[in-house]
Structure formats: structure tokens, C-alpha cells
Amino acid sequence: MRTTDEIVGIAEELLTNRFGGTQNLTDPEDLGGLGTAKVLRCRVAPSPFLQARSVVLKFVPLSGDLFDDAALVREVVSYQFTTSLPTTARPGPELLAYDIDRRILVIGDAGDGETFDSLLQDADPAERMKLIRLLGRAIGSMHAATADREEHFDILFNRMLTKYPDTADIHRLRDQTLLAAVDRGLQLVTAAGIPVPEIVTAFAIDAKRRLSSGRHRAFTPFDLSPDNILMAGTPQFLDYEWAGFRDAAYDVACVVGGFPQYLFANPLSDAEAEAFIAAWVGEVKDIWPNVTNPVRLRARIITALIGWALSSIAYLYHGSMAQMVQEMEISLRRHPDDPSAVPDMDHLAMATATDDDEDVLAGSLLHDMGEDGQLARRDLHETFSALSRLAARGGDPRFAPVKEFADTVLARLEELGATPTAMAHRNHGADGS
């Protein structure tokens, strides 16, 4: 791990090389960071070459893990791409400088705003509704601004891969794992003895297709998490380690579903979900006119939410999204002639070791009666509850079997002790708010 002085010194060098003059950074403030990353805020000495008053430095120490290297490459490319957008359409801070070999990014300072997890937790109902509409507009604006720019992202990405070719296979595996997780979720639900209607399987197949192709693709952080969305005048998206171009409905479904993979978020009420969707539609309807058809839009969101729900089961069973990528790599090494191989029940990571591998809803992390297991069951409960309520709004005969399936999973989770949070109880209020 580099010292703070070393990180600041490298950042000064990078900014000087990029903007000219002699850039000086002072008063480093430790902002914490996820995992092993170190994040610092520094003041910028007055300079005619760089107008920023402060910058944020992110240092990711060398771990020897190619997965970490790939995540850093993707994050840099994503920041390069979003920085190339017009300022009014930029979804996050500007990338000012970087050095992948020295593991440092220098980005603009978004300010001292609060993250959405704390804002949604503490706000009164009227303020929550305002924040949720702002989030819908911000995500919609990001999608509208990037919908026709996938080629630009690919050019930046491929250019970076020529410099860091060792990460190419990991990027491919990460994308492949997103697809495999849907199949894995279906496999695990079936192993749990829960009947899966044909229409749910059909929706799941379509969810996989929309991850890799389709007409409604846009740039997305994908793994949206409210602790990585900063309210600084407007919502700012900060985490791009899983970013790329995918079906935009996945972002919508992620928020409507209570942020799958984020175990502490308060889920949206039905009224809040509809307000969020309406705000998003207002931003994208000019590029995708068919989103104004409420039933067709609901079908798209249900498709993506089924993808999230099934993937969530797989991720929780394996430990995390990253853990499943590692499991995929192990499986492919064992089955080199089968590029579609997914981890089998006999070669699961430590996080999946259980006394009852046949029932995912009573195994792995979900079997843990401690706090982690309770949070995992609650997270799944929130996601499947959102799916049930969305399908219950009707408009398409295919939605009824989806609701029945979601309700069956909910009943099983409740048998295991999963209970809705206070916010989830509020979802079922008479006025839906």
C-alpha cells in the first residue's frame, strides 16, 4: 500500500503532465473507500492551467488478482467515456488523469453531498418522492445521452485492452457470468422444488438476450447501489467496475426492485416506483417512443426484474457477483472444451458449502440464521415482492403466472424467517405510498 504522500505525489505528476504548469495538491482528506481502495480529497493550489478547487484521488493497491486489474481497467474506460459526454449529460465526475500501472485515478470532486442510501433512509415521504424522481430523471438522462454511443465505448475499451491484454479474458468472463447467473438462478430454484412456469422461463431467456443485445441499450453502471450515488446538486454515479452497455430496463428494474445486492436499502413503495418510472420515461421517450406504452414497458421491466431476481439467488448462493466470476473461471479451467460451462453443484466456493446443497433457499448464506443470512433473505424478499406487485398491476395475461411464481418464492422465504422491512410493510398500504 502506498503512503498518502506517495499517492498525492503521483497525482501531482499526472496532473502536471496533463494540464501543464506545476500542480500542487494539499490537505489530503481520507474519504475511506470500498475494499482495499484508498480515496483521498485534496485541495488544488490556484493555477491558470487547472481550474478545479479540489480533486479526488482513488488508489487501488496491487493485489496480484487479475479480477482486480480488470475492474480497474473497466472503471478507467468508463470514466473516459462519461467524461467525453457533454457536461450536462455526464452521469458522474470528470476523469482528470489516471495511471493504471500505478493504480491511480484522479477525478473531479463531486462535493460533500450525501449518498442516496442515507438520504432515502432519513427523508420524510415528500422528500423521498422528490429524490426518487430526481434519480429517475438522472438515470433516464444518462440513458438518453448514451443510447447511440456504444461504438464509442467499444473503441475506448478495445484500445485499452491492447495495452492490458491479460485482462481481456476476465472481461469476457464477467459479461458471460451475467448471463450464466440467470440460468444458475433457474437451476437453483428448480433444485429447491419451486415450480417455474414456462412463461417465467421465457421471460428469463429474454432477460439474458437483453443483457447482450437489443434496441434499448445504453451505458449503465449496472450494479447500481445507493451508497455509490451521490446527491451533489444532481445525482452523481460513482462506481463503474461493472459498467457497460446493456438493456436500459435493467437499471429501471434495479431501482424498482429495491437495489438487488444492496442489503440495507429501503425498498420503494408502489407509488414511488411509478413516480420513478414516469420520471425515467420523461427523459427517454424521444429516443424510445414505445416506452410510453405502459403495458409494454411493464413487460420490459418485469423481464429485467426476473433477470435480477434469479441472478440475485445465484449471487447470494455463490457469495457475490465477483465470486461467481471466479467460480466461472474455475469451471472453465475444468471444462476447457465447453465455453458455456457454469459452476456445478460439486465445485462451489466456500460461501456455498452447506449441509443441504439441494435447496438454495435453505442453503448457503440463506441458511445462516445470523445477521448475514437474515439480510440475504430480506434482500431476496424485497426483490421478489417488487416483482409480485409489479406483475399484479396486470395488462398482460403473462403477468399472472409471474406473480404466482414470485409469491411461491416469497412464501418459502417467509418460512425461513424472511420478513418484510418496515418500508416493505408500507408498500401494502391502502394508498400504496
pLDDT score of 354: 38
**Residue 311, pLDDT above cutoff 70:** yes
- Topology given in CATH for the domain delimited by 116-427: Aminoglycoside 3'-phosphotransferase; Chain: A, domain 2 (3.90.1200)
As its CATH architecture, domain 4-108 has 2-Layer Sandwich (3.30)
pLDDT score of 178: 87
**Residue 100, pLDDT above cutoff 60:** yes
**Choice among 92-96, 102-106, 225-229, 417-421 with the minimum mean pLDDT:** 417-421
pLDDT score of 369: 45
What does the alpha-carbon distance between residue 272 and residue 433 come to, in Å, rounded to a whole number? 7
Q: How confident is the model at residue 357 (pLDDT cuts 50, 70, 90)?
A: very low
Which pTM value belongs to this model?
Answer: 0.87
pLDDT of 254-284, one tens digit each? 999 989 877 665 789 999 999 999 999 999 9
Work out the percent of the chain whose per-residue pLDDT is above 90. Answer: 55
For residue 307, give the amino acid letter.
G
Average pLDDT over every residue of 241-249: 93
Domains 4-108 and 116-427 share a fold: no
pLDDT score of 373: 63
CA–chain centroid gap for 321, Å, is 10
Q: Which three cell numbers stand for residue 292?
A: 410510453
- Residue indicated by cell numbers 459479461: 175
Q: Which candidate, 175, 327, 300, 331, places its Cα nearest to that of 242? A: 175
Q: Which three cell numbers stand for residue 412?
A: 418459502
pLDDT score of 261: 73
Q: Which three cell numbers stand for residue 208?
A: 439474458
Burial of 76 (C-beta count, 10 Å sphere; 0-12/13-18/19+): buried
pLDDT of 157-184, one tens digit each? 999 999 999 999 888 888 888 888 898 8
The SS3 assignment for 222 reads coil
**Residue 285, pLDDT above cutoff 60:** yes
Q: Which candidate, 183, 242, 219, places its Cα nearest to that of 82? A: 219
More confident residue, 50 or 107: 107
Cβ 55 vs Cβ 18: under 8 Å: no
Burial of 411 (C-beta count, 10 Å sphere; 0-12/13-18/19+): exposed
Q: How confident is the model at residue 359 (pLDDT cuts 50, 70, 90)?
A: low
Measured on CA atoms in the order 314, 319, 323, 327, is the torsion positive or negative?
A: negative
Could you tell me which residues come within 8 angstroms of residue 126 by beta carbon, excluding any fewer than 6 positions away?
Answer: none
More confident residue, 420 or 67: 67
pLDDT of 17-55, one tens digit each? 999 989 999 999 998 876 788 999 999 998 888 888 999
Q: What's the mean pLDDT when you consider all of the chain? A: 85
Q: How confident is the model at residue 345 (pLDDT cuts 50, 70, 90)?
A: very low
**Residue 99, pLDDT above cutoff 70:** yes
**Residue 292, pLDDT above cutoff 90:** yes
For 390-405, letters b (16+ CB in 10 Å) and e give bbebeeeeebebbbeb
pLDDT score of 416: 72
Helices (H), 285-320: 294-318
pLDDT score of 415: 80
**Residue 146, pLDDT above cutoff 90:** yes
Could you tell me which residues come within 8 angstroms of residue 354 by beta carbon, excluding any fewer than 6 positions away?
Answer: 363, 364, 367
pLDDT score of 383: 93
pLDDT score of 347: 36
Across the chain, which distance is largest between two alpha carbons, in Å? Answer: 67
Q: How confident is the model at residue 237 (pLDDT cuts 50, 70, 90)?
A: very high
pLDDT score of 432: 37
Strand partners, 54: 43
- The residue ranges of every structural domain in the chain are 4-108, 116-427
CA atoms within 13 A on the CB side of 46: 0
What does the alpha-carbon distance between residue 47 and residue 386 come to, in Å, rounded to a whole number? 51
What does the alpha-carbon distance between residue 246 and residue 285 come to, in Å, rounded to a whole number? 18
**Choice among 21-30, 35-44, 211-220, 316-325 with the minimum mean pLDDT:** 316-325
What does the alpha-carbon distance between residue 340 and residue 374 come to, in Å, rounded to a whole number? 33
Nearest 5 degrees, angle CA 177-CA 181-CA 185? Answer: 165
